[in-house]
Amino acid sequence: MRGVTAMAVAVRRPDGGITSRAETLHGLATSRLRTVPLLRGVLVLLETMQLGMHALTWSAAVAAGAVDEHGEAEGLAIFDWIALIGAFVFGVGVFFIGPVLATAWLDRIASHWVSIAAEGGIRVALLLGYIWVIGRKGDIARVFQYHGAEHMTIYAHEDGRELSVPAVRRYPKEHPRCGTSFLLTVALVSIFVFAFAGTEPLWWRFASRLILIPFIAAVSYEAIRFAGFHQRWPVVRWLFAGNIALQYLTTRRRRRADPGRDRRAPALPRRRAGARTSRQRVTADPHAMDAAIRARRSIRGLEGPPLPPDQVEALVALALTAPAPHHTEPWRFVEVSPARREALADAMGAAWDTDLDADGHTEARRAWALARSHRRITGAPTLILGCLVAEGLNTYADDRRARAEWGLAQHSFGAALQNMLLGASARGLGAYWISAPLYAPEAVRAALDLDPAWEPQALVCIGHRSAEYVPFDRRTATCRGSSCGGSDRITLTPALSPQGRGAEGCHANVEVSWVG
């Protein structure tokens, strides 16, 4: 990975450990020439080739145990250089000259626009085919997992997040400034550039494919850079959708049970030998699971210091395992620091007061409700805001399906929050859910400077349970089906009013409604 002033490489060693090194960048890489439009694209291309070679040589040396006592790799031998230059010339030949050879004859039977379009089409097909074929190999598939992880890390870094696994996991694996997207952009930009370069005479047709490479790289670099900084513009997202789509091939998320995750051999035989995985532990003792679910209560009496960061991360990580529609990860969480709490409580309080006033509540009643809400927000040992984003959800022109789609995300949010509450309860902590942000999203957004794409849903207060707090009596919603009547389709709704109580055959406080 290359940053503004430094680069870092991490390599998995044969023994399973990881060796990494970081280097400060000097010279052309950080010079003022790097700010000159178009020129910077050419410099980046040269620098990427140089840094990439350097990193590859070093990683090969680490893998072969051929580094010296300072961790440096030996220089390349003459044969390595020949092989490298040969591979480079072969790549440029196949990608730039090959399509001309394959299509030049078309000029005899059609306009030169046809052969230019066919040449460009072959170039794009070669690129996609190559990526698809190599991605099927185990090792490269694994590289693509690292590639996705690298993008997620860069997102987190650019977002100012700490670089921990749970924090990084919530970012997408596709990045608009990705190197493979650059290759696709090169292939597409070259169609336009070569169209202007013309096709006559034949020697120029071949020569232009080589001479114009730096110019094409420069334009492509500017395009990618622009797209990266203007992702919020729908037209940019639309124009560069192909780049993001290509990354479905070149980036992967590591699957949970991926045996390639860690090559440290002992882990696999142990698992095969039937060592208990966490999944097996859960299914082996369903009663423990049942008991943990039953034991969770909303604990509104909280005290003690804020949770340590690793405990917050662990609870958020549990939330992130929730089921979600279309394999999306629509949840986002913010730990609200004490410094922001007053502003948050005031903003939400003002919004709520307006609603209570409109509902006709007395001033005394409003003051009481607002003071309690203020106390809960400012006094929670740890306060976490949960949000949803629409990223990855289907979009529909009609309101009915659009609302349903958002409903799917909200269902998923409920599951995520339940995971977090269960995790807190299992750790002996108290926690409860505050849904007020859903009623005052703008107030929350403004008070916390939230990303406009994040839709506030709920707050979770977490801390140590105060000994005095007694949870509300739980009214169990169970129904003995046979005595409820003949239908096998029933819905149970917890009774909200006395009229709802006592439906025949059911627990005293559920209302039974028949469906169908």
d(CA 285, CA 327): 28
Task: Compute the distance between CA of residue 242 and CA of residue 248 in angstroms, rounded to an integer.
Answer: 10
Amino acid, single-letter form, for residue 305:
P
Task: Extract long-range pairs of 231-240: CB within 8 Å, 24+ residues apart.
Answer: 231/176, 240/176, 240/181
Q: How far is the CB of 382 from ligand FMN (least distance, A)?
A: 16
- Residue 170 to residue 247: CA distance in whole angstroms: 17
User: Which is nearer to ligand FMN, 82 or 295 (by Cβ)?
Assistant: 295
d(CA 334, CA 444): 11
Least Å from the CB of residue 245 to ligand FMN:
36
CA dihedral 262, 263, 269, 272 (to 10 degrees): 50
Tell me, letter by letter, the H, E, C secondary structure of 310-358. Answer: HHHHHHHHHHCCCCCHHHCCCEEEEECCHHHHHHHHHHHHHHHHHHHHH
Structure-block tokens of residue 43: 């410099």
- Binding positions for ligand FMN, 293-312, rule CB under 6 A: 297-298, 300
Contact (Cβ atoms closer than 8 angstroms) between residue 246 and residue 127: no
Which residue's CB is nearer to ligand FMN, number 301 or number 392? 301
User: Contact region for ligand FMN (CB under 6 A) — 43-51, 166-174, 292-300, 386-394?
Assistant: 292-300
Q: How far apart are CA 484 and CA 478, in angstroms?
A: 11
- List all residues 6 or more positions away from 15 whose beta carbon is below 8 Å from its beta carbon: 264
Percentages (nearest 5) of helix, strand, coil residues in the chain: 60, 10, 30
Residue closer to ligand FMN (CB basis): 247 or 457? 457
- For the bound state, the minimum distance from the C-beta of residue 372 to ligand FMN, rounded and expressed in Å, comes to 10
Closer of 395 and 435 to ligand FMN (Cβ): 435
Closest to ligand FMN by CB, 385 vs 436, is: 436
CB of 180 to ligand FMN, least distance (A): 42
List binders of ligand FMN among 454-473 (CB under 6 A).
Answer: 471-472
* Residue 394 Cβ vs ligand FMN, minimum distance, rounded to whole Å: 24
How far apart (Å, rounded) are the C-alpha atoms in residues 155 and 162? 11
- x-or-dash pattern for ligand FMN, window 102-131, by CB under 6 A? ------------------------------
Tell me which residues in 416-445 interact with ligand FMN (CB under 6 A): 432-436
**Nearer of residues 106 and 370 to ligand FMN, judged by Cβ:** 370
Contacts (CB under 6 A) with ligand FMN, residues 29-68:
none
Interface with ligand FMN, residue 474, by CB under 6 A: yes
Nearer to ligand FMN, 96 or 432 (CB): 432
Count of chain residues binding ligand FMN (CB under 6 A): 11
Minimum CB separation of residue 170 from ligand FMN in Å reads: 21
Q: Which residues of the chain form contacts with ligand FMN (CB under 6 A)?
A: 297-298, 300, 432-436, 471-472, 474
